[in-house]
Amino acid sequence: MIRQIRNINLIFWGMLIVIFDFSLSSTTNGYGIKFNIINDFVGSILIFIGLSKISKIKLIDTSFKSKMNYGLVASFILYSLFSILYSISFFFIYPAPEYISTIKNLLDIAIDWGFVTFSGAMIVLTTETHLNNSLRRWITTKKLFIWIYFLPFAALTFISEMISLINTYRYN
């Protein structure tokens, strides 16, 4: 169990690195440079390592494995690989085409959904291991994340993309 706590701590620290953006930037007339002090790639690797170790736990409920697999995909493929592309593309500050913003927003929604599925997997894990205090915390965490962060972010992203699409066709 201590090993699993260590793996959950890896996920926790990885999430903190990903959530908080420590960067230095300099711009002149809309162009410049942005440098991430702690790159999100480091956080996503920590998340991936923790998830891959936790996903090996054998449980009766088969939904645990599928939820953990989505978390692995979201953390590694979606986030690790694309964080490298983000780092390269956002190192230079310039007026970017609208489709780049759209792709980034859609990827952010998919990555955030990875946290929702991970929370679901943790609910299954804590239910089967009878960790009632942790179970209540994970249920609360999942609800708070969905209602306070995910749904408003997804709705605002959708509205923003629709306005952008309308403006693109209006002026062309």
**What digits encode the pLDDT tens for the residues 15-37?**
778 777 677 777 777 777 776 66
Radius of gyration of the chain (CA): 18
Tell me how far apart the 2 most distant CA atoms of the chain are, in Å: 60
Query: Could you tell me the two tokens for 29?
Result: 């007339």
Counting every residue written for the chain, the total comes to: 172
Q: What percent of the chain has pLDDT over 90?
A: 9
**What digits encode the pLDDT tens for the residues 105-137?**
887 788 788 888 888 888 888 888 888 888 898
| Model confidence pTM above 0.95 | no
Domains held by the chain: number: 1
Specify the 3-state DSSP secondary structure of 31: strand
Mean pLDDT, the chain, whole residue set: 79
Confirm if 125 and 59 have CB atoms less than 8 A apart. yes
Domain that holds residue 40: 2-171
What is the helix (H) or strand (E) element at residue 34, kind and residue range?
Answer: strand 31-36
